[in-house]
Chain A
Amino acid sequence: MVFKHRKDLLGLAELNRAEIESIINTAVPMKDILTRDIKKVPALRGKVVCTVFYENSTRTRTSFELAGKYLSADTVNLAVSTSSVQKGESLKDTIKTIEVMGTDVMVMRHSMSGAPHYVARNTKMRVINAGDGFHAHPTQGLLDMYSIREKKGTLDGLKVVILGDIQHSRVARSNIAGLSKFGCEVRVVGPSTLMPADIENMGAKRFYNIEEALDGADVINVLRLQLERQKKGLFPSVPEYAENFGLNRKRLSLAKKDVLVLHPGPMNRGVEVASDVADSAFSVINEQVTNGVAIRMALLYLMIGGASE
């Protein structure tokens, strides 16, 4: 069992293949619950899930919140903008407060890499990393893998392209960490100014030419381009980016005929992905959202369902 000897989920790098499979397998019956009229089971009755987001993300936060509610847990959001965090309360004190209010799982998003690790060290609560800096976004990685496996039947040996700003992407890192355990050929492609050092050592192949990267791809995971990176001088302009690294119909044809297109959202249509690609039959972007809820239900269940010991 994944969380028998593991208190927290901070990243995918530390999980082994069997553990990842067990989470994805558990998400399958969870997804069934989502499609029913009565979308609720009593498994986590009396448990408390608190989401604490130090960075905006309606999507991930709502997904966790619904996942908790579908399992009958009580879910609370600490809205950071209205909380004492703004008054300069330290992260450590905030965590203690949440802990003593009886929270079982703290779901945490933070703009700084490693912040969840710091929290996990300082609390008895279980901690789920809902994205930390550029470091990791394990539940996104898991839902991407689940979405791929659902359509392809397997993850083993697939050619997966991750396209965009690799340097600043926790989604890219979590996908590489997870997919590499399944023998996938992970290719990263984007401008050289948005490519981190020694990415090959993580088990990815580096490309600067999108056409070469897309050749024969089974899956294309398109990353969101943070437009503020342009102001930092990391790429010259949005039109030039779209021209050279945007995923369009023509480029899509270089991939396999049954290629899947993923995007963690929210999309900049016409920048990193053309609208007709995002809305095409190849796109599983909307299903990713549903699968995200299922994966988070699976995780919550595996972490706090059943005996506490």
Chain B
Amino acid sequence: MSILIKGGRIIDPANNIDMIGDILITDGLIDKVAASLTAKEAEVFDAQGLVVCPGFIDMHVHLREPGFEYKETIATGMRAAAVGGFTTVCCMPNTDPVCDNRAVATFVAETARRNKLINVHPIGCITKGQKGQEITEMFALAEAGCVAVSDDGLPVMNAEVMRRALEYSSMIGMPVIAHSEDNRLAEEGQMHEGYYSTLYGLKGIPAVAEEAMVARDILLTEMTAGRLHIAHLSTGGSLHLVREAKSRGIRVSCEITPHHISLTDQALADYDTNFKVNPPLRSQQDVKALIQGLCDGTVDCMATDHAPHELEAKDCEFNLASFGISGLETAIPVTIEYLVKTGLVNISQVVKAWTAGPARVLGLDRGTLTPGKAADITIIDIEATKTVNSELFESKGKNTPYQDMTLQGWPVATLVDGRIVAEKGRIV
């Protein structure tokens, strides 16, 4: 069983490849990558005019199952990921019950395996019940398939607990993914604190609510030799702290989301709850700083923070609405529209942030087109334009701020282990 992907622009940042060429896939693995290949018995995929990349990895999604199946299930989330061009996702543990033990982690991993389609790795909790008090059985979580620990959605306010988590996880080699938010500074906050929160009369979440925690956790990481990953980093100040920490050799990495590089706090003028997200949409200067961080390598990867919600959670007063954006099915076009089309970031760097970047953070043996590796491939038409229509989402979460926007650069095919799982917006 072979597939020959012919004539595409192959972008494989981990191997410094950006060329027009062919990829031969045999038995689910990358067989050969070269300028021109022939294989008589292989099925041919004509990729002329398309970009062929390693499979995209989204290391930060909420699949909501168990407990919130009315928002999303593991199955629907996987379909959304496949259609969105993702071959691997890592799902956050803030389900009900939370993923703080072997049983829940196993349930998530097994449910995903049964659904086939794409790779799903659970992320376990840092603390039991996400209460921020006692650290979880991280050895057991790792055995059950967890690739990292995080209390995402909630900060670990107690510095002593965070210290122990960083120390303990370092034995297993799992990164601690921090939801950096001082919840006193951010209390009751609805949006970024600044001119627009003043204008719209909404309680602000100051940048320092994130930055103070990023600074604390960087110092704890330095002390413990643990590995810290900052989830959904959103401010220029946080980025500055990470850049400085990296220059001192501290093992910290960070991710940014498509919405934080494409939208600003100004967008809340109509109190559209689809723009309500945590961390909040920040200022124009923050957006610039994040994109700069992507260019200079301070930002390790991008991640969607896919947070699907049922209609009712968003169809209400702004203060009562849930935070979050359903992001899997718009991530690729948003990054191409706002980063590549604008000329701000070259496509290779963008691809890296979605492939080799997250693979390296989590130690996944994916994210490259190196022969012998699993044939996870994302094929993108960077010229294609389409108007976002959430009604057509595979995800149960229709909560997108990009509704009715025309974006450029859509995934056309998603291959997992050499099998086409999604093509032209549809599950195969």
Binding site for B on A (CB under 8 A): 13, 90-92, 110, 112-115, 117-118, 121, 132-136, 170, 173, 196-199, 201-202
29 A-B pairs in the complex with CB atoms less than 8 angstroms apart: A90-B316, A91-B317, A110-B317, A112-B317, A113-B271, A113-B318, A113-B319, A114-B202, A114-B318, A115-B317, A117-B270, A117-B271, A118-B317, A132-B201, A133-B319, A134-B202, A135-B200, A136-B201, A170-B201, A173-B201, A196-B198, A197-B193, A197-B194, A197-B198, A197-B204, A198-B194, A199-B198, A201-B195, A202-B195
A117 nearest CB across to chain B (Å): 5
A112 and B195 alpha carbons, distance in the complex (Å): 18
Query: In the bound complex, do residue A92 and residue B202 qualify as a contact, i.e. CB atoms below 8 Å apart?
Result: no
Which residues of the other chain, B, contact A117 by a CB distance below 8 angstroms? 270-271
Contact indicator B202/A197 (Cβ below 8 Å): no
A112 to B200, CA, bound (A): 11
How far is B204's CA from A121's CA once the two chains are assembled, in angstroms?
24
Contact B201–A202 (Cβ < 8 Å) = no
B316 x A196 contact (CB < 8 A): no
Residue of A90, A115, A173 near B318 (CB, 8 A) is: A115
Per the bound structure, the CA–CA distance linking A117 and B200 in Å amounts to 11
User: How many residue pairs bridge A and B at CB < 8 Å?
Assistant: 68
Q: Are B270 and A134 neighbours in the complex by a CB distance under 8 Å?
A: no
Kindly report which residue of chain A lies nearest to residue B190, judged by CB atoms.
Answer: A113
Interface centre among A13, A92, A114 (most CB of B within 10 A): A114
Contact check, A198 vs B202: say whether CB atoms are below 8 A apart: no
Which of chain A's residues have a CB closer than 8 A to the CB of B316?
90-92, 118
Nearest 7 pairs of A and B residues by beta carbon: A135-B201, A114-B271, A134-B201, A198-B195, A196-B198, A113-B201, A112-B319
Bound: A117/B273 CA distance, A: 11
Is residue B315 contacting chain A, with contact meaning CB distance below 8 A? yes
* Max count, chain A CB within 10 A of own CB: residue among B197, B200, B201, B320: B201
Task: Report yes or no: A113 in contact with B200, Cβ–Cβ below 8 A.
Answer: yes
Given contacts A117-B271, A118-B271, A197-B193, contact A202 B317 (CB under 8 A): no
- Point out which of B193, B200, B312, B316 has the most chain A C-beta atoms below 10 A from its C-beta: B200
A90 to B317, CA, bound (A): 9
Interface check B199, CB cutoff 8 A:
yes
The docked-state distance in angstroms from the alpha carbon of A71 to that of B318 is: 34
Residues of A within 8 A of B270 (CB): 117, 121
Q: What CA separation (Å) do A206 and B102 show in the bound complex?
A: 56
Please give the distance in Å from B284's CB to the nearest CB on chain A.
Answer: 13
Closest residue to A166 on the B side, CB-wise?
Answer: B198
Please, which residues of chain A bring their CB within 8 A of the CB of B319? 112-114, 133
- B317 neighbours in A (Cβ, 8 Å): 91, 110, 112, 114-115, 118
Least CB distance, B314 to chain A, in whole angstroms: 11
| B197 and A197 contacting across the interface, CB-CB below 8 Å | yes
**Closest chain B residue to A111, Cβ basis:** B319
Further pairs besides A114-B319, A118-B317, A201-B198: 15, Cβ < 8 Å: A91-B316, A110-B317, A112-B318, A113-B271, A114-B200, A114-B271, A117-B271, A118-B271, A134-B202, A196-B197, A197-B193, A201-B199, A202-B195, A202-B198, A202-B199
Question: Which chain B residues numbered 66 to 115 have a C-beta less than 8 Å away from chain A?
Answer: none
Query: Smallest CB–CB gap between A98 and chain B, Å?
Result: 16
In Å, the complex CA distance between A199 and B194 comes to: 9
Contact between B315 and A92, CB atoms less than 8 A apart: yes
Q: Measured between alpha carbons, how far is A50 from B190 in the docked complex, in Å? A: 29
The CA-CA distance from A302 to B174 in the complex, in Å, is: 65
In the complex, are the beta carbons of A135 and B195 less than 8 A apart?
A: no
B193: A residues at CB distance < 8 A: 197
> CA A118 – CA B270 in complex, angstroms?
8
- Name the residue of chain B whose CB is nearest to the CB of A173: B201
Contacts of A198 in B (CB 8 A): 194-195, 198
Residues of chain A within 8 A (CB-CB) of B194 are 197-198
Q: Closest CB of chain A to B183's CB: distance in Å?
A: 16
| Chain A residues, CB < 8 A from B271 | 113-114, 117-118
Closest to B203 in A: A134
Complex CA distance for A134 and B190, rounded to whole angstroms: 12
Shortest CB-to-CB span from B112 to chain A, Å, is: 35
A92 (CB) vs chain B CBs: closest residue: B315
Complex interface: chain B residues within 8 A of A91 (CB): 316-317
CB contact under 8 A between A133 and B202, given known A112-B319, A112-B320: yes
